[in-house]
Structure 1
């Protein structure tokens, strides 16, 4: 598998591509989510450069001995960790995570392969708190009590 210099748009785009391919089904909804988000522009790529990264990654996957295609695109843990290690800038990691989540959630289903990629990102990049932020905001917005503080709700049966 080819390597990219750390924190380059290509290294980031490859991770987003991996998330999109992880369930072996690229839906129109996922492609539309990428277009709406302007993923290639957010990562500093022209559309043709984005396409080249996707094409090169697919070639690498096809040629990789550690790849298996069953219910999705599976990369061995070592290779997955190496791909994630090519992005170590915190802001770029957050941008990549947001793009991956938007792509993975676009079709209303998070497949096993997609979950593996997202979990690897969160674990390796230490983004546990950031993954909880949307849920915490939702709880705070719908929970009575002091602004900005979640309160425990109990129900009686």
Structure 2
């Protein structure tokens, strides 16, 4: 897994990217919701850079051997904990959680994988459930 500086836009974007992939589908509706919710202002990350981070994350996750798309989309708890450890700033954590919530609700459906991802992320940061 590539390393990003702690609290960097890339570290924040990688967590958001993992969330976006957790249901196995990244759609325009989710990206538009992130734009409306101020992703660029809050994370210093525009849509183009986020999509590049999604691609990089996908490459990192598939390096460990043959995985199906479904397997890649399920970031395991240990990997998510490593990603979460790259963000220490409390406000940045809140912004990431808020943006993740907006993205998963953008398509008006909330699947178990997305719920699990958000729960694991909150657990990693010791944040209360919403």
TM-score, normalising length: structure 2:
0.86
Indicate conservation of the 8 Å contact 2:31/2:47, yes or no: no
CA distance in 2, matches of 1:75, 1:59: 13
CA distance in 2, matches of 1:78, 1:103: 23
Q: Does 1:91 align with 2:77?
A: no
How much has 1:21 moved relative to structure 2? 0.7
Structure 1 stretches lacking a partner, 5+ long: 132-157
**Other-structure match for 1:38:** 38
How much has 1:66 moved relative to structure 2? 9.1
Indicate conservation of the 8 Å contact 2:58/2:72, yes or no: no
Greater shift, 25-34 or 68-77, is seen at 68-77
**Other-structure match for 1:2:** 2
CA distance in 2, matches of 1:101, 1:23: 13
Between structure 1 and structure 2, the one with the greater Rg is 1
CA distance in 2, matches of 1:51, 1:64: 21
TM-score, normalising length: structure 1:
0.73
- Which protein has greater RCO, CA pairs closer than 8 Å, 6+ apart? 2
Deviations 1:17-64 (A, max 9, x none): 111110001223212211212313320134443332222112212323
How much has 1:5 moved relative to structure 2? 1.5
Structure 2 stretches lacking a partner, 5+ long: none
Aligned length: 130
